Amino acid sequence: MNKIKFCDASLINKKKQKKTKIFSRSSVILNHHVGQNFYVHVGNRFFVLLVKEEMKGFRFGEFCLTRKQFSHKKKK
């Protein structure tokens, strides 16, 4: 049987938190995460993520890009 991973058991009882850091991008977003800000670790920095109602059931890593956008430079 698959186990659903979640952030931390201490997050369930706390309503308002200023900084909640998530190091596991494979954690599932649950009902009590809706409306909170999370700082998701993406390798070398933290990505600020505001969880919305539509994000329930997905994983934190699906909303945080790990690679920078690349664009070619124009020549003079």
pTM flag (> 0.95): no
10-residue mean pLDDT profile of the chain (76 residues): values are: 60 62 92 92 92 93 88 86
Q: Which residues are CB-neighbours of 32 under 8 A, at least 6 positions away?
A: 11, 12
- The residues spanned by each domain of the chain are 18-63
What confidence score (pLDDT) does residue 74 get?
86
Sheet hosting strand 21-22, strand order edge to edge: 21-22, 37-41, 46-50
What confidence score (pLDDT) does residue 9 get?
59
What superfamily would CATH give domain 18-63? Answer: Ribosomal protein S19/S15 (3.30.860.10)
User: How far apart are the C-alpha atoms of 51 and 17, rounded to whole Å?
Assistant: 13
